[in-house]
Amino acid sequence: MSNKIIIANWKSHKTVHEVKEWIEAFVATAPRVQDAASQMQVLIAPSFPYLSEVQSAVASLHNVAVAAQDVSQFPLGAYTGAVAAQQLASLKIQYCLVGHSERRKYFGETHQTVAQKVELLLDQGITPIVCVDEAEISEQASLIASDQRKRVIVAYEPVSAVGTGIGQDLAQVKLVVASIRTEFGPIPVLYGGSVDERNVAEYVLASDGVLVGGDSLDEHDFMQLLETLHSS
Ligand code: PGA
């Protein structure tokens, strides 16, 4: 399975102790699948306080990096509690999720704020991973400048499938991936929503990779998923 992007999205889970345990087990076992020949890119998306720790723990692994789960829609400055794109860039973070359905639902994030975040991230050389449900594709795309649309990764995340244990129908995933490419151009398009070791091989055939929430929380489950891909 080559050139696929696999993202472990931990959301707001894990204490520092749990992060250490996950990472220790992952670093010990990941080289089995992430060998020098592997084209699979694995991204781990922890909460902000753990970015540096996870980043240095995986630094020696082939094609493994960290992603932030969110970024401020403002630049550096007097915005208490916010984490600016410049701060992520200064940590050498290369990827950042934006517009996840949980951000839209619980934190009032709009298409406009997502577009602002995309611009700030790209200005810092960070690749935004823009999460959208099907109904949001056109409006979200229209608010992102056309030269910027070509430089993002988009994740198709149907709200009906996120965290429900019921993944989206494969034929539908293929249709939506195609319509995302129509709006954004020939960019990588991922799928996210109840991905696990049993369905991951099919979803990566229909897309350029997957965002894994629940099944990435346990290090053994996540390694199992990577091994399934490695051998498929
Ligand atoms: P899930 O989450 O795998 O638990 O459905 C996916 C996501 O929210 O990215």
For 18-48, write each residue's pLDDT tens digit: 999 999 999 999 888 877 777 899 999 999 9
pLDDT in the model for residue 31: 84
Spatial distance between the Cα atoms of 37 and 1, rounded to a whole number of angstroms:
11
- Please report which confidence band the pLDDT of residue 3 belongs to, taking 50, 70 and 90 as the band edges: confident
| pLDDT-above-90 percentage for the chain | 93
pTM passes above 0.85:
yes
Spatial distance between the Cα atoms of 83 and 192, rounded to a whole number of angstroms:
24
Q: What is the mean pLDDT of residues 47-55?
A: 98
Residues 213 and 188: beta-carbon distance below 8 Å: no
Question: Cα(99) to centroid of ligand 1, in Å?
Answer: 13
- Does 1 have pLDDT greater than 60? no
- Tell me which of 154, 157, 212 to substitute to probe ligand 1's pocket, judged by most ligand atoms within 8 Å of the beta carbon: 212
Query: Which residues, other chains included, contact 37 with Cβ-Cβ below 8 Å and sequence gap of 6+?
Result: none
- Does 2 have pLDDT greater than 80? no
Nearest CA to ligand 1 atom 7: 213
Nearest CA to ligand 1 atom 3: 213
Query: Which residues, other chains included, contact 81 with Cβ-Cβ below 8 Å and sequence gap of 6+?
Result: none
Nearest CA to ligand 1 atom 1: 213
Detail the DSSP E strand segments found in the chain: 5-9, 41-45, 64-68, 95-98, 127-132, 153-156, 189-192, 209-212
Residues pairing with 138 in the sheet: none
Q: What is the mean pLDDT of residues 162-182?
A: 96
pLDDT in the model for residue 38: 79
- Please report which confidence band the pLDDT of residue 73 belongs to, taking 50, 70 and 90 as the band edges: very high
Catalytic residues: 100, 157
Q: What is the mean pLDDT of residues 79-106?
A: 98
* Type and span of the H or E element at 115: helix 111-123
Atom of ligand 1 nearest to the CA of 216: 3
- Does 132 have pLDDT greater than 70? yes
